[in-house]
Structure 1
Amino acid sequence: MDVDLRKVRYFVAVAEELHFGRAAERLHIAQPVLSRQIRALEDELKVQLFVRSKRATELTSAGQQLLEDARPVLASAEAMRRRTVQAARAERIFTIAFMPGITVTPLVRELASAQPELTVELLRTTWDDQVEVLHDGRADVSIVRLPIDQQGLTVRPLFDEPRVAMLPADHRLAGKPVIRIADLADDHLLQDPDAVPEWRDVAVELREGRGRPAPHYRSIEEKLEHVAAGHGISVIPLSTATFYTRPDVVAVPVEDLGPNRVALAWPSSRRSRTLPAVAALAENLAWA
């Protein structure tokens, strides 16, 4: 039996709203039409998905299971649509994603010179979505900061760059020309300790069992706000620190801190005549 994805999309709207009227408004369809589509889906699946009363609409156990399964299916279908559309437009529009601190202007200029008929679009990413934009079709290539999950991707190294410690301006080490990671052993790190194993291995708070859950920041600006406020320190690539300078935060070199590695990534299944040219241009540029 083939399940109509449109009906599944309607079901998810009702399941998330738990109100047929609000779901109909969200979908821009009439409520009676929505009710008929849900009944048709229940008939197809031969299960009851909702329990409706005058006061509330609730999911049955079958409905809860369908909601759990439906979300990734719809996301996959949307990604497929984006990749298909992208493949059709790739010969005239090419999207390059990039992480904060990385300047892609030289690559864009070289590509525009080599293929003047091509429109190059840019997409700024974060640690959270630098790979996701490739899988869901928003970008053709992504200039990523490693490590990443490389499954399904082709990854070409571009360059390494130093990482620095971002400290509040009144920090005891803020005036030092260079420090060692052990100098930060008493500080709190505002990121996942696994991202900075050198600090993790010497951190006093971890050794004493006082470690706190790693906070989730949506942007580098948000992270630096917390550094400036004295909530802790952060370790970021030098180019990012240079790009986001501010008077209340100081970047200090750490001599025994490993570099950040930058690479070009794209889906291994992607077929485009532009991709090899972009990869060659990126690998030949003097990034650092």
Structure 2
Amino acid sequence: MDVDLRKLRYFVAVAEELHFGRAAARLHIAQPVLSRQIRAFEHELRAELFVRDRRSTALTEAGHQLLADARPLLASAEALRRRVQQAAHGRPTFTIAFMPGIIVTAEARAIADLHPDLSVGVVRTSWNDQAEVVREGRADVSYVRLPIDQRGLSLRPLFTEPRVVVLPQEHRLAGKEAVDLAELVEERLLQDPNAVPEWRDLPNRPMDSDPRPRPELNSVEEKLEHVAAYAGMVILPLSTATFYTRPDVVHVPVDDLGHNQVCLAWAEDNRSPLVREFVEIAARQAQAADRTPRATRD
């Protein structure tokens, strides 16, 4: 059977809201219409997706599996739509996404020089959307920092760089030449622990019992503001820490923390010759780059 993308979008809305009324409002359709569409979708798939009663709505095992697969599929469909529209209207475009601390000027100029009629743009991303920009078609390629959800993506490793801990300027560890992870066990990590799995997996961290919710930080600037206010620490790639310098925070190398891997990512179904060409440009640039304090190239 062919999967109906409209019904798939309806399913994702209900799965994320776990409430048919809120999902219907989000989709701007009537709730009875949404309920009928979901029942029809379950019939087509021959699987129950939700367990629902008057009080609650919950995903079944089949529903959990469909939600995991639906998001990249919908993102791929949206990316395809964007690429077709760009091809149909005027001057071709090519967008390069990059994480803080990564400079892509040389690569952007190289692809623009090879294609004078190409409109080349750049967009800065964050930990939260560095992969989504290519899945959704908002960028053709994205410089990403691992780990990321790699579903629906192709990756080309480019270089690695050390990671450092960023602390308030007067912190007890601020004057040290380097620290070990064990010395940070009592510190409060402000960012998503999945971004620093080595710290996340340290045993017996006292901060696990901290009742304070972790703040939602969407930019490096926000992270540094919280660090400076003695709210906790962050782990950053060296290039990011050195790019965002400020007098009230310091960064210290962490000896037993592995280097951060930087890759170029693009949608695995994007067959554009421009993407293949840019991948080779990025790989050559990474290989030829000098070994500087901001990045350690492979």
- Per-residue CA deviations over 1:83-136 (Å, capped at 9, x if unaligned) read 222442368112222111112222111111111211123232222222232333
Where does residue 232 of structure 1 map in the other structure? Answer: 232
**For residues 237-252 of structure 1, what are the structure 2 equivalents within 5 Å?**
237-252=237-252
Where does residue 140 of structure 2 map in the other structure? Answer: 140
Distance 1:9 1:255, change over 3 A: closer
Where does residue 79 of structure 1 map in the other structure? Answer: 75
- Provide the rounded CA distance (Å) in 1 between the counterparts of 2:112 and 2:159: 22
Q: Does 1:166 align with 2:166?
A: yes
Where does residue 281 of structure 2 map in the other structure? Answer: 281
TM (normalized to structure 1)?
Answer: 0.71
- Count of residues in correspondence between the two structures: 272
- Provide the rounded CA distance (Å) in 1 between the counterparts of 2:116 and 2:124: 23
Distance 1:210 1:121, change over 3 A: same
Q: Are the aligned partners of 1:87 and 1:271 in contact in 2 as well (CA < 8 Å)?
A: no
Is the radius of gyration larger for structure 1 or structure 2? Answer: 1
SS in 1 for 2:174: coil
Distance 1:116 1:75, change over 3 A: same
Where does residue 154 of structure 1 map in the other structure? Answer: 154
- Provide the rounded CA distance (Å) in 2 between the counterparts of 1:237 and 1:134: 22
- Provide the rounded CA distance (Å) in 1 between the counterparts of 2:107 and 2:256: 31
SS in 1 for 2:171: coil
Q: Are the aligned partners of 1:12 and 1:67 in contact in 2 as well (CA < 8 Å)?
A: no
- Per-residue CA deviations over 1:135-182 (Å, capped at 9, x if unaligned) read 333322110112334444332222222222211011123234x22316
Runs of at least 5 residues in structure 2 that lack an aligned partner in the other structure? 45-52, 293-298
SS in 2 for 1:235: strand
Where does residue 212 of structure 1 map in the other structure? Answer: 208
Q: Does 1:221 align with 2:221?
A: yes
Which letter maps to 1:180? V
Distance 1:13 1:117, change over 3 A: same
TM (normalized to structure 2)?
Answer: 0.69
- Provide the rounded CA distance (Å) in 1 between the counterparts of 2:137 and 2:157: 22
Which letter maps to 1:123? V
Which letter maps to 1:212? D
The Cα RMSD (Å) is: 4.4
- Per-residue CA deviations over 1:27-62 (Å, capped at 9, x if unaligned) read 667x7xx7678668768969xxxxxxxxxx96887x
Q: Does 1:115 align with 2:115?
A: yes
